[in-house]
Structure 1
Amino acid sequence: MLVVPITAGPRAAIPHLATIGLTLLAFLSASSAVYVLNDLRDCEADRLHPVKRLRPLASGRVSVRGALAVLTALLLATVGLLIAVPPLGALVLGGYVVMNIWYTLALKHQPLVDVSVVAAGFVLRVLAGALAAGLTIQPLLLICVYCASVALSLGKRRHELAGLKVTGEKHRPALSAYTVPFLDHMVVLNLVAALICYVATMWQLNAPYGKVGAALSFPFAAFHVTRYLQMLIVERSGGDPVEDLMRDRQMRLNLGLWTAVLASTFLASSL
Structure 2
Amino acid sequence: MTETAPLAGSAHADTATNQGEMSRPQWRAPGGPPARPRAGAVLRGLLKTTRPKQWVKNSLVVAAPAAAGRLFTREALTQVTLVFVLFTACAAAVYLINDARDAAADRAHPTKRHRPVAAGQVPVPVAYATGAALAVLAPTAAAWLSSPVVAALLTAYIGMQLAYCVSLKHVLVIDLVVVSTGFLMRAMIGGVALGIPLSRWFLITTGFGALFMVSAKRYSEAVQMAGKAGATRALLTEYSTGYLRFVWQLAAGVAVLAYCMWALEEGGVPHTSVLPWRQLSMVAFVLAVLRYAVFADRGTAGEPEDVVLHDRALALIGTVWLAMYGLAVANW
Q: Which residue of 1 aligns with 2:292?
A: 228
The offset of 1:59, in angstroms, is: 4.8
From 116, 128, 131, the equivalent of 1:56 is 116
Q: 1:125 to 1:208 in 2, by over 3 A?
A: farther
| Equivalent residues, number | 266
The offset of 1:206, in angstroms, is: 4.1
Question: After alignment, is 44-53 or 157-166 more displaced?
Answer: 44-53
The aligned runs of 1:101-116 (5 Å cut-off) are 101-116=162-177
Gaps of 5+ in 1: none
Q: Which runs of 4+ in 1 moved over 6 A?
A: 208-211
Question: After alignment, is 145-154 or 187-196 more displaced?
Answer: 145-154
Q: Which amino acid aligns with 1:33?
A: A
Contact 2:263 2:282 in 1 (8 A): no
**TM score, norm. by length of structure 2:** 0.72
Contact 1:16 1:134 in 2 (8 A): no
From 277, 283, 287, the equivalent of 1:213 is 277
Q: Which amino acid aligns with 2:220?
A: H
Q: Distance in 2 between matches of 1:6 and 1:208?
A: 19
Classify the secondary structure of the residue corresponding to 1:11: coil
Q: Which residue of 1 aligns with 2:24?
A: none
Q: Which amino acid aligns with 2:309?
A: M
The offset of 1:263, in angstroms, is: 3.1
Q: Which residue of 2 aligns with 1:242?
A: 305
The offset of 1:51, in angstroms, is: 5.3
The aligned runs of 1:51-200 (5 Å cut-off) are 52-84=112-144, 85-164=146-225, 165-168=228-231, 171-200=232-261
Does residue 255 of the first structure (1) align with residue 318 of the second (2)?
yes
The offset of 1:61, in angstroms, is: 4.4
Q: Percent identity?
A: 28
The offset of 1:113, in angstroms, is: 0.3
Question: After alignment, is 78-87 or 94-103 more displaced?
Answer: 78-87
The offset of 1:76, in angstroms, is: 4.2
**TM score, norm. by length of structure 1:** 0.86
Q: Which amino acid aligns with 1:222?
A: V
Q: Which residue of 1 aligns with 2:64?
A: 5
Q: 1:182 to 1:53 in 2, by over 3 A?
A: farther
Q: Distance in 1 between matches of 2:147 and 2:211?
A: 29
Q: 1:80 to 1:249 in 2, by over 3 A?
A: same
Q: 1:215 to 1:78 in 2, by over 3 A?
A: same
The offset of 1:213, in angstroms, is: 2.5
Contact 1:33 1:71 in 2 (8 A): yes
Classify the secondary structure of the residue corresponding to 1:227: helix
Q: Which amino acid aligns with 2:280?
A: L
Q: 1:133 to 1:189 in 2, by over 3 A?
A: same
Contact 1:161 1:180 in 2 (8 A): yes
Q: Distance in 2 between matches of 1:42 and 1:142?
A: 33
Contact 2:139 2:151 in 1 (8 A): no
Does residue 40 of the first structure (1) align with residue 104 of the second (2)?
no
Contact 2:69 2:329 in 1 (8 A): no
Contact 1:48 1:167 in 2 (8 A): no
Q: Which residue of 2 aligns with 1:29?
A: 89
Contact 1:208 1:266 in 2 (8 A): no
Q: 1:264 to 1:134 in 2, by over 3 A?
A: same
Q: Which amino acid aligns with 1:225?
A: V
Q: 1:71 to 1:256 in 2, by over 3 A?
A: same
Q: Distance in 1 between matches of 2:296 and 2:259?
A: 21
Q: Which has the larger radius of gyration?
A: 2
The offset of 1:254, in angstroms, is: 0.8
Q: Distance in 1 between matches of 2:205 and 2:171?
A: 23
